[in-house]
Amino acid sequence: MRRVTPPALSAVNLTQAYGDVTVLRGVSLELHAGEVVAVTGPSGSGKSTLLHLLGGLDTPQHGEVYWAGERADTLDTQRRAQRRAGRIGLVFQHHYLLDDLSVLDNVLIPGRLAGRPDPEHAQHLLARVGLAGRGRDMPGVLSGGERQRVAVARALAAHPAAVLADEPTGSLDRANAQTVAALLVELARETGAGVLLVTHDERLAQHAGRVLHLLDGQFTDTLPDYG
Ligand SMILES: Nc1ncnc2c1ncn2[C@@H]1O[C@H](COP(=O)(O)OP(=O)(O)OP(=O)(O)O)[C@@H](O)[C@H]1O
Ligand SMILES: [Mg+2]
Protein backbone atom coordinates (compact mmCIF):
# COMPACT_ATOMS: atom_id res chain seq x y z
CA MET A 1 0.00 0.00 0.00
CA ARG A 2 1.29 3.45 -0.86
CA ARG A 3 2.00 5.57 2.20
CA VAL A 4 0.84 9.16 1.94
CA THR A 5 3.15 11.67 3.60
CA PRO A 6 1.18 13.93 5.94
CA PRO A 7 1.52 17.71 5.57
CA ALA A 8 4.42 19.27 7.46
CA LEU A 9 1.82 21.30 9.33
CA SER A 10 -1.93 21.45 9.20
CA ALA A 11 -4.77 23.14 11.01
CA VAL A 12 -8.47 22.40 10.94
CA ASN A 13 -11.13 24.94 11.78
CA LEU A 14 -9.18 27.06 14.27
CA THR A 15 -11.32 29.48 16.21
CA GLN A 16 -9.98 31.91 18.77
CA ALA A 17 -11.70 34.74 20.60
CA TYR A 18 -10.51 37.20 23.22
CA GLY A 19 -13.51 38.36 25.23
CA ASP A 20 -16.14 39.54 22.76
CA VAL A 21 -13.67 39.76 19.90
CA THR A 22 -13.44 36.71 17.65
CA VAL A 23 -10.02 36.87 16.04
CA LEU A 24 -10.05 33.61 14.04
CA ARG A 25 -13.25 32.05 12.69
CA GLY A 26 -12.61 28.54 11.55
CA VAL A 27 -9.22 28.84 9.85
CA SER A 28 -7.87 25.74 8.11
CA LEU A 29 -4.62 25.29 6.23
CA GLU A 30 -2.07 22.78 5.03
CA LEU A 31 1.64 23.42 4.64
CA HIS A 32 3.64 20.84 2.78
CA ALA A 33 7.33 19.96 2.87
CA GLY A 34 9.44 22.36 0.83
CA GLU A 35 6.56 24.81 0.36
CA VAL A 36 6.79 28.53 1.20
CA VAL A 37 3.48 30.16 2.10
CA ALA A 38 3.15 33.82 3.02
CA VAL A 39 0.42 35.10 5.33
CA THR A 40 -0.56 38.74 5.01
CA GLY A 41 -3.38 40.81 6.46
CA PRO A 42 -4.00 44.11 8.19
CA SER A 43 -2.61 44.81 11.65
CA GLY A 44 -4.80 43.08 14.22
CA SER A 45 -6.21 40.56 11.73
CA GLY A 46 -4.87 37.65 13.78
CA LYS A 47 -1.67 36.64 11.98
CA SER A 48 0.39 36.33 15.17
CA THR A 49 -2.52 34.67 16.97
CA LEU A 50 -2.65 32.08 14.17
CA LEU A 51 1.11 31.44 14.29
CA HIS A 52 1.02 31.03 18.07
CA LEU A 53 -1.71 28.41 17.72
CA LEU A 54 0.12 26.62 14.90
CA GLY A 55 3.34 26.60 16.92
CA GLY A 56 1.59 25.31 20.01
CA LEU A 57 2.53 28.38 22.04
CA ASP A 58 -1.19 28.84 22.64
CA THR A 59 -4.08 26.37 22.65
CA PRO A 60 -7.01 26.98 20.29
CA GLN A 61 -10.49 27.30 21.76
CA HIS A 62 -11.78 25.18 18.87
CA GLY A 63 -10.05 23.29 16.11
CA GLU A 64 -7.05 21.05 15.64
CA VAL A 65 -3.34 21.45 14.91
CA TYR A 66 -1.14 18.69 13.45
CA TRP A 67 2.66 18.63 13.22
CA ALA A 68 3.86 16.15 10.60
CA GLY A 69 0.56 14.34 10.98
CA GLU A 70 0.56 14.19 14.76
CA ARG A 71 -2.09 16.03 16.77
CA ALA A 72 -0.29 18.79 18.66
CA ASP A 73 -2.88 20.97 20.39
CA THR A 74 -4.00 18.20 22.75
CA LEU A 75 -0.48 17.34 24.00
CA ASP A 76 0.35 18.48 27.52
CA THR A 77 2.70 21.45 27.82
CA GLN A 78 5.86 19.47 28.44
CA ARG A 79 5.35 16.95 25.66
CA ARG A 80 4.26 19.70 23.29
CA ALA A 81 7.47 21.67 23.98
CA GLN A 82 9.57 18.59 23.29
CA ARG A 83 7.70 17.75 20.07
CA ARG A 84 7.81 21.37 18.96
CA ALA A 85 11.59 21.44 19.36
CA GLY A 86 11.97 18.56 16.91
CA ARG A 87 9.26 19.45 14.42
CA ILE A 88 8.71 23.20 14.32
CA GLY A 89 11.23 26.01 13.90
CA LEU A 90 10.21 29.47 15.10
CA VAL A 91 11.52 32.88 14.05
CA PHE A 92 10.05 36.09 15.45
CA GLN A 93 10.62 39.77 14.84
CA HIS A 94 12.87 39.76 17.91
CA HIS A 95 15.62 37.13 17.83
CA TYR A 96 15.03 35.75 21.38
CA LEU A 97 18.58 34.42 21.59
CA LEU A 98 19.71 33.59 25.12
CA ASP A 99 22.34 36.19 26.05
CA ASP A 100 24.36 33.93 28.34
CA LEU A 101 24.77 31.11 25.81
CA SER A 102 27.23 31.18 22.93
CA VAL A 103 25.95 31.48 19.36
CA LEU A 104 26.56 27.75 18.79
CA ASP A 105 24.81 26.76 22.02
CA ASN A 106 21.83 28.91 21.02
CA VAL A 107 21.60 27.07 17.70
CA LEU A 108 21.82 23.75 19.54
CA ILE A 109 18.85 24.50 21.86
CA PRO A 110 16.09 22.85 19.75
CA GLY A 111 18.20 19.75 19.09
CA ARG A 112 18.97 19.40 22.80
CA LEU A 113 15.29 19.79 23.70
CA ALA A 114 14.37 17.21 21.08
CA GLY A 115 17.00 14.84 22.45
CA ARG A 116 19.20 14.82 19.33
CA PRO A 117 21.67 17.72 19.26
CA ASP A 118 23.76 17.81 16.07
CA PRO A 119 26.75 20.17 16.47
CA GLU A 120 28.02 19.43 12.97
CA HIS A 121 24.72 20.41 11.39
CA ALA A 122 24.60 23.50 13.62
CA GLN A 123 28.08 24.54 12.44
CA HIS A 124 27.02 23.93 8.84
CA LEU A 125 23.96 26.16 9.29
CA LEU A 126 26.05 28.90 10.91
CA ALA A 127 28.40 28.76 7.93
CA ARG A 128 25.41 28.92 5.55
CA VAL A 129 24.14 32.09 7.23
CA GLY A 130 27.60 33.66 6.92
CA LEU A 131 28.67 33.16 10.52
CA ALA A 132 31.33 30.46 10.20
CA GLY A 133 33.80 30.88 13.04
CA ARG A 134 31.39 32.93 15.17
CA GLY A 135 29.97 29.97 17.11
CA ARG A 136 31.88 30.80 20.28
CA ASP A 137 30.86 34.45 20.29
CA MET A 138 28.17 35.62 22.66
CA PRO A 139 25.03 37.06 21.01
CA GLY A 140 25.70 40.45 22.62
CA VAL A 141 28.64 41.15 20.31
CA LEU A 142 26.66 40.47 17.11
CA SER A 143 24.84 43.02 14.97
CA GLY A 144 21.05 42.93 14.67
CA GLY A 145 21.20 41.26 11.26
CA GLU A 146 23.73 38.69 12.52
CA ARG A 147 21.54 37.84 15.51
CA GLN A 148 18.56 37.30 13.27
CA ARG A 149 20.66 35.03 11.05
CA VAL A 150 21.53 32.99 14.16
CA ALA A 151 17.79 32.78 14.88
CA VAL A 152 17.26 31.42 11.35
CA ALA A 153 19.99 28.80 11.86
CA ARG A 154 18.45 27.85 15.21
CA ALA A 155 15.00 27.48 13.64
CA LEU A 156 16.37 24.89 11.20
CA ALA A 157 18.83 23.13 13.50
CA ALA A 158 16.65 20.22 14.59
CA HIS A 159 15.47 19.37 11.05
CA PRO A 160 11.93 20.67 11.62
CA ALA A 161 9.06 19.73 9.32
CA ALA A 162 7.92 23.36 9.29
CA VAL A 163 9.28 26.80 10.11
CA LEU A 164 6.89 29.46 11.37
CA ALA A 165 8.20 32.99 10.92
CA ASP A 166 6.35 36.06 12.25
CA GLU A 167 7.69 39.25 10.67
CA PRO A 168 11.20 37.75 10.91
CA THR A 169 12.78 40.75 9.25
CA GLY A 170 10.60 43.42 10.84
CA SER A 171 13.41 44.87 12.93
CA LEU A 172 16.00 44.93 10.13
CA ASP A 173 16.92 47.46 7.47
CA ARG A 174 16.00 46.73 3.87
CA ALA A 175 19.25 45.02 2.83
CA ASN A 176 19.45 42.85 5.94
CA ALA A 177 15.76 41.99 5.63
CA GLN A 178 16.25 40.67 2.11
CA THR A 179 19.33 38.67 3.15
CA VAL A 180 17.65 37.08 6.15
CA ALA A 181 14.45 36.25 4.24
CA ALA A 182 16.41 34.75 1.34
CA LEU A 183 18.48 32.62 3.75
CA LEU A 184 15.41 31.38 5.55
CA VAL A 185 13.77 30.31 2.31
CA GLU A 186 16.98 28.83 0.86
CA LEU A 187 17.82 26.79 3.96
CA ALA A 188 14.26 25.58 4.31
CA ARG A 189 14.35 24.39 0.68
CA GLU A 190 17.66 22.62 1.31
CA THR A 191 16.34 20.81 4.37
CA GLY A 192 12.87 20.21 2.93
CA ALA A 193 11.04 22.18 5.64
CA GLY A 194 7.82 24.00 4.80
CA VAL A 195 7.79 27.72 5.66
CA LEU A 196 4.86 29.83 6.82
CA LEU A 197 5.96 33.44 6.64
CA VAL A 198 3.91 36.28 8.13
CA THR A 199 4.95 39.52 6.51
CA HIS A 200 3.71 43.00 5.64
CA ASP A 201 6.47 43.26 3.09
CA GLU A 202 5.35 42.54 -0.48
CA ARG A 203 8.96 41.93 -1.50
CA LEU A 204 9.28 39.15 1.04
CA ALA A 205 5.93 37.69 0.03
CA GLN A 206 7.44 37.24 -3.43
CA HIS A 207 9.50 34.37 -2.02
CA ALA A 208 6.27 32.48 -1.46
CA GLY A 209 4.65 29.98 -3.79
CA ARG A 210 1.28 30.83 -2.26
CA VAL A 211 -0.03 33.88 -0.39
CA LEU A 212 -2.90 33.66 2.11
CA HIS A 213 -4.71 36.85 3.13
CA LEU A 214 -6.27 36.94 6.57
CA LEU A 215 -9.29 39.19 6.85
CA ASP A 216 -12.16 39.20 9.35
CA GLY A 217 -10.90 36.01 10.93
CA GLN A 218 -10.75 33.98 7.73
CA PHE A 219 -8.55 33.47 4.71
CA THR A 220 -9.85 35.37 1.72
CA ASP A 221 -8.95 34.91 -1.94
CA THR A 222 -9.29 38.58 -2.68
CA LEU A 223 -6.51 40.97 -1.79
CA PRO A 224 -7.65 43.10 1.16
CA ASP A 225 -7.91 46.83 0.53
CA TYR A 226 -5.48 48.47 2.94
CA GLY A 227 -6.44 51.94 1.67
N1 LIG B 1 -3.66 37.49 24.60
C2 LIG B 1 -4.55 38.33 24.08
N3 LIG B 1 -5.52 38.88 24.83
C4 LIG B 1 -6.43 39.72 24.30
N5 LIG B 1 -6.46 40.09 23.01
C6 LIG B 1 -5.51 39.59 22.21
C7 LIG B 1 -4.51 38.70 22.68
N8 LIG B 1 -3.71 38.35 21.65
C9 LIG B 1 -4.19 39.02 20.58
N10 LIG B 1 -5.26 39.75 20.90
C11 LIG B 1 -6.07 40.57 19.98
O12 LIG B 1 -6.33 39.79 18.82
C13 LIG B 1 -6.27 40.58 17.65
C14 LIG B 1 -5.27 39.99 16.67
O15 LIG B 1 -3.96 40.17 17.18
P16 LIG B 1 -2.67 39.64 16.43
O17 LIG B 1 -1.50 40.00 17.26
O18 LIG B 1 -2.86 38.21 16.11
O19 LIG B 1 -2.73 40.49 15.09
P20 LIG B 1 -1.65 40.58 13.89
O21 LIG B 1 -2.38 40.27 12.64
O22 LIG B 1 -0.47 39.75 14.23
O23 LIG B 1 -1.28 42.13 13.90
P24 LIG B 1 0.13 42.84 13.55
O25 LIG B 1 0.21 42.88 12.06
O26 LIG B 1 -0.04 44.21 14.13
O27 LIG B 1 1.23 42.07 14.20
C28 LIG B 1 -5.94 41.99 18.11
O29 LIG B 1 -7.14 42.74 18.18
C30 LIG B 1 -5.33 41.79 19.47
O31 LIG B 1 -5.55 42.90 20.30
MG1 LIG C 1 1.54 40.19 14.60
| Tens-digit pLDDT string for the chain (227 aa) | 666 789 999 999 999 999 999 999 999 999 999 999 999 999 999 999 999 999 999 999 999 999 999 999 999 999 999 999 999 999 999 999 999 999 999 999 999 999 999 999 999 999 999 999 999 999 999 999 999 999 999 999 999 999 999 999 988 888 888 899 999 999 999 999 999 999 988 888 888 999 999 999 999 865 545 44
Look at residues 116, 115, 71, 107 and name the one whose alpha carbon lies nearest to residue 89.
107
Q: Is 41 in the pocket of ligand 1 (CB under 6 A)?
A: yes
Q: Is residue 162 within 8 Å of residue 9, measured between CB atoms? A: yes
Nearest CA to ligand 1 atom 5: 18
Nearest CA to ligand 1 atom 16: 46
Where is 111: in which H helix or E strand? helix 103-114
Q: Would 163 be classed as within a structural domain?
A: yes
Q: Would 81 be classed as within a structural domain?
A: yes
Query: Residue 58's domain spans which residues?
Result: 9-217
Where is 108: in which H helix or E strand? helix 103-114
* Structural domain total, the chain: 1
Q: Is 40 in the pocket of ligand 1 (CB under 6 A)?
A: no
Q: Is residue 169 within 8 Å of residue 182, measured between CB atoms? A: no
Atom of ligand 1 nearest to the CA of 52: 18
Q: Would 124 be classed as within a structural domain?
A: yes
Q: Is 78 in the pocket of ligand 1 (CB under 6 A)?
A: no
Domain CATH number, residue 128:
3.40.50.300
Q: Would 195 be classed as within a structural domain?
A: yes
